[in-house]
Amino acid sequence: MRKLLALALAAAMALSLAACGGSADSGDTTPADTGASDAADAAQDTGDAVPDAPAGGGTIGVCIYKFDDAFMTTYRNALQEILEGKGYSVTVQDGNNDQSKQNEQINTYITQGVDALIINPVMTSAADQIIATVKEAGIPTVLINREPTAEQMSAYDKLVYVGCDAAQSGTFQGELILDTPNKGDINGDGKVSYIMIQGDPENIDAQLRTEYSVKALTDAGVEVEELDSQRGDWDREKGQTICANDLAQYGDQIEVVFCNNDDMAIGALQSIQAAGRTVNEDIYLVGVDALDAALTEVANGNMTGTVLNDAVGQATAAVEEMEKLLGGATYASGSQSVYVDYVKVTPDNVADFQ
Ligand code: BGC
């Protein structure tokens, strides 16, 4: 709770809502805006600009792709707390990583007549179907965490996506390595040899973090060598296994372990320690999310750094956008993504997030 409040405060200060495609225009009800800062203004102004949402009286259906995901657990708890704090009646369903199960849950919510839906799709590839379903039912919908394309979203004007710009988190991971004394080249052989432990590759967050973390290094003129890149599906145990196998195979050649999220990084850390390696001395390790466990390891020097994936900021923005929709707002095509900034977390600033 303390952390939730602290993060909410940090989010309020750092929250920069930037719209994908340069506009967070709430369509019919708010003036058109262009550019990220205008988008932030639009987000701030919305209270005045759109009719009031039914204050606290509504029923909200929330679908989470699976409860057994460390980051989405923080996110869904924040969502529930914010919605209930505003007086909404909330039901949260576990999709168990099964898209057909989630489809049924969405249909049930529709039959029950919920006022709005907040959906974390199981599969981004199912976005067309989800969007068609909620459109036909006319239910205002906020998609979270797994971003569909702008074209897919343009099918329904009472739909908005709230998330983060995944490329930014990848860039920040690369910068965390560039900020080390040897820029990641621990053995001084002129190149950074890394392994990449990926999330679910169907997820744009996994794709862009994988690409942009390495791009940050190459853009800075650093030569890189990929020893291995494997999917760990955001899962701690898989992160541990992949890292253990790679350490057995490549040993001291591995200078950097990039993990697309913290849960896999925590798993990787267990293998790093079991192999007798020492983070920040003979190997670097970075993740994304700023889970509590990762913040502890950054503070202890057992992780080089992480990147705050602001669950509370995103939950806050998701509820804000939902209320705009409930107030009658519609979204213009190309202006249906709202982004919350990532933040780099290092030993220098980790205390601000704990
Ligand atoms: C988070 C992961 C999480 C995934 C779920 C990502 O943004 O960084 O930790 O597992 O979302 O879709």
Domains of the chain and CATH, by start: 4-164+310-341 (3.40.50.2300), 167-308 (3.40.50.2300)
| Mean pLDDT across 309-318 | 98
State whether the beta carbon of 233 lies less than 6 angstroms from ligand 1.
no
Terminal C-alpha separation, the chain: 11
Per mean pLDDT, which range of 35-39, 148-152, 221-225, 264-268 is the poorest?
A: 35-39
**Residue 89 burial class via C-beta count within 10 angstroms: exposed 0-12, middle 13-18, buried 19 and up:** middle
Query: Which atom of ligand 1 is nearest to 71's Cα?
Result: 9
Tokens of 61: 């259906």
In this prediction, residue 197 carries a pLDDT of: 98
Q: How does strand 343-345 pair with strand 306-308?
A: antiparallel
> What pLDDT is recorded for position 56?
62
pLDDT of residue 223: 98
Distance 48 CA to ligand 1 centre (A): 33
Q: What is the mean pLDDT of residues 91-118?
A: 98
pLDDT tens, residue by residue, 208-242: 999 999 999 999 999 999 999 999 999 999 999 99
pLDDT confidence tier of residue 57, bands split at 50, 70 and 90: confident
Choice from 67, 234, 260 to test ligand 1 binding pocket (greatest atom count within 8 A of CB): 234
Alpha-carbon torsion (81, 16, 320, 118), positive or negative: negative
Asked whether the predicted pLDDT for residue 84 surpasses 50, the reply is yes
Average pLDDT, the chain: 88
**Mean pLDDT of all residues in 287-293:** 98
**Across 51-65, 95-109, 237-251, 272-286, least confident range:** 51-65
pLDDT, one tens digit per residue, over 133-181 is 999 999 999 999 999 999 999 999 999 999 999 999 999 999 999 999 9
Instruction: Name which of 260, 318, 254, 256 is nearest 294 in CA terms.
Output: 260
Residue 203 CB neighbours (<10 A): 22
pLDDT of residue 196 exceeding 80, the answer is yes
Q: Is 50 within 8 Å of 331 (Cβ atoms)?
A: no
* Helix/strand/coil for 268: helix
pLDDT tier for residue 12 given thresholds of 50, 70 and 90: very low
Distance CA 96, CA 101 (A): 8
Q: Is there an atom of ligand 1 within 6 Å of 200 CB? A: no
Question: How far is the C-alpha of 345 from the C-alpha of 290, rounded, in Å?
Answer: 7
Tell me the best of 66, 97, 203, 231 to mutate to test the pocket of ligand 1, counting ligand atoms within 8 Å of each CB and taking the most.
203
- What does the pLDDT average to over 38-56? 41
In this model, does residue 192 exceed pLDDT 90?
yes
Identify the band that residue 55 occupies on the pLDDT scale cut at 50, 70 and 90: low
Pocket test for ligand 1, best of 99, 266, 292, 309 (most atoms within 8 A of CB): 309
Residue bearing the bigger pLDDT, 320 or 47: 320
The identity of residue 171, as a single letter, is: T
Query: Measured between alpha carbons, how far is 66 from 213 in angstroms, rounded to an integer?
Result: 26
pLDDT band at 342 (very low <50, low <70, confident <90, very high): very high
- Check whether 20 has a pLDDT greater than 50: no
For 207, residues 6+ apart whose C-beta sits below 8 A from its C-beta are: 166, 201
Look up the pTM and report it. 0.86
Cα–Cα distance for residue pair 219/251, rounded to 1 Å:
27
C-alpha of residue 308 to centroid of ligand 1, in Å? 12
* pLDDT surpasses 90 at 32: no
Confirm if 254 and 193 have CB atoms less than 8 A apart: yes
Asked if residue 213 has its Cβ within 6 Å of ligand 1, the reply is no
What is the Cα 32 distance to its own chain's centre? 27
Sign for the CA dihedral angle at 23, 308, 119, 79 comes to negative
The residue whose CA is least distant from atom 10 of ligand 1 is: 234
Alpha-carbon gap, residue 118 to 95, rounded angstroms: 13
